Structure 1
Amino acid sequence: MDPEQTFGEGGLNQFLAVDNLVDRIGLDDDEIAWRKQFVGFDEEDEARLEDLETLLRENQDEIADDFYDKILQYKQTRAVINRSPKDVPALKQTQRAYLVSLSTGDYDQSFFANRARVGKLHEILDMPLKHYVGQYGVYYTLLLDRLNERAQQQVVDAIEEWVEEQESEGSGIGGFVSALGFGGDDDDDGLEESFEETVRDAVDDGMMDVLSLLRIINLDMQIATDTYVDSYAKRLEDSIERRQRLAQEVEEDVQGPIEELHNASEVIAGRAQTISSHTNAQARNTNQAATELGELSAAIEEVASVADEVHSESERAEQLTADGVEAADDALDELEAIEDATEDVTKSAADLESRTEEIDAVLERLDDVAERTTVLAKNAKIEASRSEGANAGTMGVIANEVESFAEQTKRDLAAIEDAVEGVRKDAMKTVETTEETAERIDDGTDRVRETMDSLEEIHGAVDQTASKMEDIAAATDQQARNVETAATTVEDISQTATQVADATESVAAASEEQTASLQSVGETVSRLTDEDDEDDRPVYEQVQ
């Protein structure tokens, strides 16, 4: 089988109705004629393409190999090739057939219908349009390299033919040199006109071959692009129709659930309002609880501060108690010393009383002396009265003096007796006071001992109190921190939370009804996407 006969005969053709495709893109004879005229494709182009058949056949293997070597370098194009039912060698065979078909076709509706089928097959393989159109750029490089060599050879052949004509006319090599403008004639300032025309005609002929090939490829690319546009338009039309149909079905299917949703929404709205009221109450209670907890925290901080102060005072009391114990001990020592001194005072008082008695004895003797002196004075006066002369005067004076001394002595003795009596009374009072003092000192000593015992107990208790106050201060600080996180334990919040829970249960019941309705709506609406997803899959996936 010739290669061109295998072009467009792949396994995907069974999924393609070419006649319908041609009708949809409007590819009738008039349309084909207009497109040819628009790009300037005519019978001359057909003739030129026919002349290129030999060139294309001779280079078809090399061009096909180079073409696939190029596109297999890219991951995206390899992915498309991997989706094709054909392997790379088969694709190369198809490529060779396509290349030769460019120069062997009738360029009628059948030719372009075949091009439409090829474009559609690429679209079925989900080849992006940028890849399909981009392939022509690869073609241009491969084809124009060959056409460039052909055109250069045509120029060379034309020059050789012109030279042969010149030789046949007898001009020889001189005519060729002259044609190039090297004849030495001052009037010749360029190429000989016939030579230049020959070269230009050869170059123009080569360019026209290129233009003819580009024109047929352009028509080919137009048709292929139409198949992509047709596919896009068909998908869009199907999607619009499908969505319109589904929208109508959905509208009918969701009408009942929507009404149910509306009714359920009203119920939910009312219950949500109740929840909102409970929530507001809960918020107020929470704020109140937060305020109270803040005040409690402040109070605890104050207690902690007081505890610190008490701790300080406890330490101070401990120190004072210790000082009191020491002072009581010193006082006890002093009381013992005073008791000893009291005993000495009592003894001294006893001695004083004994001495007073001795003084009384002396005073009695002195009183007796005074009495005697008085008697003596009286006797002296008597004797003086009896005497005469100087002796009488002297004796009178002596009698007076003695009497005066005796009286003074009596007065002094009376004063001494009074003083001794006062001393005796004071001594007696001192003894009594000393005895009372001794008794009081005994009592005071006992009390000081008791006080010392109490102070020692107080010292121990204060010491324990100071230690416990440290624990209380630490516990109070911890309590202050714990109170900051105790809002969740407030009774009002708990009651409000219970109300919210009750209301939430009602909302949950209504939500279940709403969920059931929404499920029905969801199943219906999912058809909008499920059908689209199924229809949007590439044909090569749908047929697997």
Structure 2
Amino acid sequence: MEWRKRFTKFDEADERRLEEMQDTFDGVADDLVEEFYEHLQSDPKSAKFFDRSSKGVDALKRTQTEYLRDLGRGSYGEEYFERRARIGKLHDMLDLGPKVYLGAYSLYYEGLLEAIGEDVQAEVKESVRDDSEPADVEAAVTDAVDDAMEMVVERSMSVMKLLLLDQQVVMDTYIDSYSDVEDELDRQREVAGEISEATFELEQAATDIAESTNDIDAIAGKQTDNMEDISREVSNLSATIEEVASTADEVDATSSRAEDLAVEGQDSAEQAIDVMHDVSDSAESVADEVDQLQDRVSEIDDVVEVINDIAEQTNILALNASIEAARAGEAGSGFAVVADEVKSLAEESQDYAGEIESLVTTIQDDTEETVDSLETTTDQVEDGIDRVEQSMEKLTDIVAAVTETSEGIQEVADATDDQASSAAAVAGMIDDAVEELDDIASEISDVAAANEQQVTQVSDLNDAAQRLADGESV
């Protein structure tokens, strides 16, 4: 900037004159800015650019007002021209090119020159009125006009030099911007080429994805139908398992009753064994008593034999007595009667002894039959005990088997209940899965539609990239 100031012949005298004009710049800044933006907004071509700025017109006006007041503040170093560059950049961002922005500077030139002229005119009038005598008015006016012309030229040139420097900075901003634009266009062409290639590949990929998505959509629909069939089958299976669980509960109850009956049968068998042991003991006791009875009957038989012997001896004695009575004659008649009575008694004794012997024989026969029956009964009781003990062992095995079966059936019942619960849970999960598959199918349909739209957009993007590479308007 120092070189530019030297080249433009902007020196300390210009800085001093501009600083002396601070009041002038402050006085005209607001009106000039209003006129400046009214002029820009009144033209359709320039007015449309203001809609592109994030700053309102009032903010732009404040910036320009500070710009005009800054002309007379006497400090024209690096910070001053940085502020000028920011103003130029702002208008460049609005697409207010040099033909618009710098073209409108004619309003500043006109307004500032008029203000300079008015200031000089007022100063000249004041000088002529205060310093000249009436006789010297003509000469004083001539001198004042010469001085005024010189001041107007000097002040105007100082303003023009500073405005030229400002415009150089602004033009640098535009030039840098245009260079950036050219660089950006080159980058755009390069990127457009890369985008074109990438979008072509993307278009192919999007097409493949769209086809795959359509296939997936069809598969998802088929899967949804399959899941609905599975859901129905699982529902039926769940109902069947519930029936099995109910039947298992009934079987468990029946098994429990069978276990109770088996235990009762085991108890009854044990009682029967005890009774049969008692019967066996009683039979053995009866057998012993019958044996004793046989012994007694044998003794009776012996007594009968003694009686028979006595009867025979008595008959012999009676016979001898009769013989002796016959020998005695009349004297032995009484003795003969006694002998007859004794003989008769002996015969009766023999008869009774015969009857007793017959009874004894009968008793012996009956006793032998009883003994045989008791032996048979004892054998049968012992065989019954063996059979009952075998039945007892089988009942024990049955009780153990029934108990084990009952426990197994209980486990089956519990497992069936768990399976029924699990089946119900699975059925619920499958229902949820069916709903989710419906949602997925819907989402896949949306994705398929989006992919088709993406294919179209990629094709449009490819065309736009091609136009961008060709330098056409996108």
Q: Tell me the TM-score normalized by structure 1.
A: 0.37
Greater helix proportion:
2
Q: Which gives a bigger RCO, structure 1 or 2 (Cα 8 Å, sep 6+)?
A: 2
